[in-house]
Amino acid sequence: MHIRLVFLGALACVGCASAHAAPPAQSARAPDAVSHHVYRFDFIITTADNGKPAVSSSYTLNLEERQSGEVRVGSNIVLSPSAARMDVGLKIWCSYRFEGADIVLREQTEMSTAEDPSTIHKVSSTSEAWVVPGTPTLVASMDEPVSHKRYQVMVTATKLL
Protein backbone atom coordinates (compact mmCIF):
# COMPACT_ATOMS: atom_id res chain seq x y z
CA MET A 1 0.00 0.00 0.00
CA HIS A 2 2.88 2.37 0.80
CA ILE A 3 4.35 1.76 -2.66
CA ARG A 4 1.07 2.68 -4.34
CA LEU A 5 0.81 5.92 -2.37
CA VAL A 6 4.35 6.91 -3.34
CA PHE A 7 3.63 6.10 -6.99
CA LEU A 8 0.38 8.13 -6.98
CA GLY A 9 2.21 11.01 -5.31
CA ALA A 10 4.89 10.89 -8.02
CA LEU A 11 2.20 10.95 -10.72
CA ALA A 12 0.57 13.96 -9.07
CA CYS A 13 3.88 15.83 -9.13
CA VAL A 14 4.45 14.99 -12.80
CA GLY A 15 0.97 16.31 -13.57
CA CYS A 16 1.82 19.58 -11.77
CA ALA A 17 5.13 20.05 -13.58
CA SER A 18 3.67 21.84 -16.55
CA ALA A 19 0.61 24.03 -16.57
CA HIS A 20 0.54 23.74 -20.37
CA ALA A 21 0.73 19.94 -20.56
CA ALA A 22 -1.72 18.20 -22.87
CA PRO A 23 -4.82 16.78 -21.16
CA PRO A 24 -4.75 13.04 -20.54
CA ALA A 25 -5.99 10.91 -23.42
CA GLN A 26 -9.69 10.09 -23.22
CA SER A 27 -10.49 6.42 -22.96
CA ALA A 28 -12.66 4.87 -25.64
CA ARG A 29 -15.30 4.20 -23.01
CA ALA A 30 -16.83 6.67 -20.58
CA PRO A 31 -15.87 5.80 -16.98
CA ASP A 32 -19.50 5.39 -15.90
CA ALA A 33 -20.47 3.14 -18.84
CA VAL A 34 -21.49 -0.34 -17.78
CA SER A 35 -20.83 -3.37 -19.91
CA HIS A 36 -24.08 -5.12 -20.84
CA HIS A 37 -23.93 -8.79 -21.69
CA VAL A 38 -26.58 -10.44 -23.82
CA TYR A 39 -26.96 -14.21 -23.71
CA ARG A 40 -29.22 -16.72 -25.41
CA PHE A 41 -30.61 -19.32 -23.03
CA ASP A 42 -31.77 -22.53 -24.71
CA PHE A 43 -34.02 -24.56 -22.42
CA ILE A 44 -34.64 -28.25 -23.13
CA ILE A 45 -37.45 -29.84 -21.14
CA THR A 46 -37.49 -33.63 -21.26
CA THR A 47 -40.47 -35.64 -20.09
CA ALA A 48 -40.14 -39.35 -19.33
CA ASP A 49 -43.43 -41.19 -18.83
CA ASN A 50 -43.44 -44.71 -17.32
CA GLY A 51 -41.01 -46.42 -19.67
CA LYS A 52 -42.23 -44.67 -22.83
CA PRO A 53 -39.57 -42.93 -24.95
CA ALA A 54 -38.64 -39.54 -23.51
CA VAL A 55 -40.05 -36.47 -25.26
CA SER A 56 -38.07 -33.21 -25.41
CA SER A 57 -39.19 -29.67 -26.20
CA SER A 58 -36.99 -26.61 -26.61
CA TYR A 59 -37.55 -22.95 -25.74
CA THR A 60 -35.22 -19.98 -26.17
CA LEU A 61 -34.90 -16.62 -24.42
CA ASN A 62 -32.44 -13.84 -25.32
CA LEU A 63 -31.69 -11.74 -22.25
CA GLU A 64 -29.60 -8.81 -21.22
CA GLU A 65 -27.86 -9.18 -17.86
CA ARG A 66 -30.14 -8.44 -14.88
CA GLN A 67 -33.23 -8.43 -17.12
CA SER A 68 -35.84 -11.17 -17.02
CA GLY A 69 -37.76 -13.05 -19.66
CA GLU A 70 -40.63 -15.49 -19.78
CA VAL A 71 -42.04 -18.16 -22.08
CA ARG A 72 -45.66 -19.28 -21.71
CA VAL A 73 -47.16 -22.09 -23.75
CA GLY A 74 -50.51 -23.69 -23.02
CA SER A 75 -54.27 -23.48 -23.02
CA ASN A 76 -56.93 -21.71 -21.04
CA ILE A 77 -59.41 -24.39 -20.01
CA VAL A 78 -62.92 -24.22 -18.61
CA LEU A 79 -63.15 -25.53 -15.06
CA SER A 80 -66.87 -25.13 -14.46
CA PRO A 81 -70.05 -24.03 -16.22
CA SER A 82 -69.91 -20.79 -14.21
CA ALA A 83 -67.06 -19.66 -16.49
CA ALA A 84 -64.20 -20.42 -14.08
CA ARG A 85 -61.07 -20.88 -16.20
CA MET A 86 -57.42 -21.78 -15.66
CA ASP A 87 -54.21 -21.62 -17.69
CA VAL A 88 -52.47 -24.98 -18.06
CA GLY A 89 -49.23 -25.73 -19.86
CA LEU A 90 -45.68 -24.48 -19.39
CA LYS A 91 -44.18 -21.31 -17.95
CA ILE A 92 -40.44 -20.62 -17.83
CA TRP A 93 -39.16 -17.43 -16.21
CA CYS A 94 -35.47 -16.59 -15.86
CA SER A 95 -32.91 -13.87 -15.27
CA TYR A 96 -29.16 -13.94 -14.79
CA ARG A 97 -26.27 -12.04 -13.33
CA PHE A 98 -22.53 -12.44 -13.20
CA GLU A 99 -20.55 -13.45 -10.12
CA GLY A 100 -17.02 -12.72 -11.28
CA ALA A 101 -16.73 -14.51 -14.62
CA ASP A 102 -19.52 -17.01 -13.82
CA ILE A 103 -23.20 -16.84 -14.79
CA VAL A 104 -25.77 -17.33 -12.05
CA LEU A 105 -29.15 -18.19 -13.59
CA ARG A 106 -32.38 -17.78 -11.62
CA GLU A 107 -35.18 -19.84 -13.07
CA GLN A 108 -38.78 -20.66 -12.31
CA THR A 109 -40.45 -23.46 -14.22
CA GLU A 110 -44.08 -24.47 -13.91
CA MET A 111 -45.80 -27.27 -15.84
CA SER A 112 -49.45 -28.23 -15.53
CA THR A 113 -51.84 -30.54 -17.34
CA ALA A 114 -55.57 -31.20 -17.08
CA GLU A 115 -56.97 -34.67 -17.59
CA ASP A 116 -60.41 -33.15 -17.05
CA PRO A 117 -61.58 -30.01 -15.24
CA SER A 118 -61.50 -31.79 -11.90
CA THR A 119 -57.98 -33.29 -12.25
CA ILE A 120 -55.09 -30.90 -12.73
CA HIS A 121 -51.46 -31.98 -12.33
CA LYS A 122 -48.81 -29.36 -11.62
CA VAL A 123 -45.07 -29.38 -10.92
CA SER A 124 -42.90 -26.33 -10.39
CA SER A 125 -39.34 -25.42 -9.49
CA THR A 126 -37.43 -22.32 -8.49
CA SER A 127 -33.65 -22.40 -8.43
CA GLU A 128 -30.36 -20.60 -8.84
CA ALA A 129 -27.75 -22.45 -10.86
CA TRP A 130 -24.17 -21.77 -11.94
CA VAL A 131 -24.11 -22.04 -15.73
CA VAL A 132 -20.98 -22.43 -17.84
CA PRO A 133 -21.50 -20.90 -21.32
CA GLY A 134 -21.74 -23.54 -24.03
CA THR A 135 -22.26 -26.39 -21.56
CA PRO A 136 -25.73 -27.92 -20.98
CA THR A 137 -26.59 -27.58 -17.29
CA LEU A 138 -29.33 -29.37 -15.36
CA VAL A 139 -31.27 -26.70 -13.46
CA ALA A 140 -34.26 -28.76 -12.28
CA SER A 141 -35.45 -32.34 -12.10
CA MET A 142 -38.96 -33.15 -10.87
CA ASP A 143 -41.05 -36.28 -10.44
CA GLU A 144 -44.80 -35.79 -10.63
CA PRO A 145 -46.07 -37.99 -7.78
CA VAL A 146 -49.47 -38.96 -9.20
CA SER A 147 -48.63 -39.73 -12.84
CA HIS A 148 -45.00 -40.71 -12.07
CA LYS A 149 -43.71 -38.59 -14.95
CA ARG A 150 -40.17 -37.24 -14.64
CA TYR A 151 -39.31 -33.76 -15.91
CA GLN A 152 -35.79 -32.46 -16.44
CA VAL A 153 -34.96 -28.85 -17.29
CA MET A 154 -31.59 -28.30 -19.00
CA VAL A 155 -30.23 -24.92 -20.11
CA THR A 156 -27.34 -23.90 -22.35
CA ALA A 157 -26.12 -20.28 -22.33
CA THR A 158 -24.55 -18.76 -25.45
CA LYS A 159 -23.01 -15.27 -25.45
CA LEU A 160 -24.50 -12.97 -28.11
CA LEU A 161 -22.95 -9.60 -27.06
Beta-ladder partners of 124: 110
Range picked from 65-69, 77-81, 145-149 for highest mean pLDDT: 65-69
Q: pLDDT tens digits, residue range 11-37?
A: 333 344 434 444 444 445 444 455 678
Q: How many CB atoms lie within 10 A of CB 50?
A: 8
The reply to whether 7 falls in a domain is: no
Q: What is the mean pLDDT of residues 33-49?
A: 87
Which of 42-46, 59-63, 80-84, 122-126 has the least mean pLDDT?
80-84
Q: Which of 56-65, 87-96, 104-113, 118-127 has the lowest mean pLDDT?
A: 118-127
Q: Give the per-residue pLDDT at 146.
A: 79
pLDDT digits (tens, 9 = 90+) for 84-101: 888 999 999 999 999 887
Q: Is residue 85 part of a domain?
A: yes
**Domain range for residue 42?**
38-159
DSSP string for residues in 34-56: ----EEEEEEEEEEEETTSPPEE
What percent of the chain shows pLDDT beyond 70? 78
pLDDT tops 80 at residue 44: yes
Model-level pTM? 0.74
As a whole number of angstroms, the distance between CA 136 and CA 152 comes to: 12
Whether residue 52 lies inside any domain: the answer is: yes
Whether 130 maps to a domain, the answer reads yes
91, exposed or middle or buried, with CB in 10 Å at 0-12, 13-18, 19+?
A: middle
Cα(29)–Cα(33) distance, integer angstroms: 7
State the total domains in the chain. Answer: 1
- In sequence order, the 6+-apart residues with CB closer than 8 A to the CB of 73 are 59, 89, 90
User: Is residue 12 situated within a structural domain?
Assistant: no
CA distance 144 to 18: 76
In a domain, 50, yes or no: yes
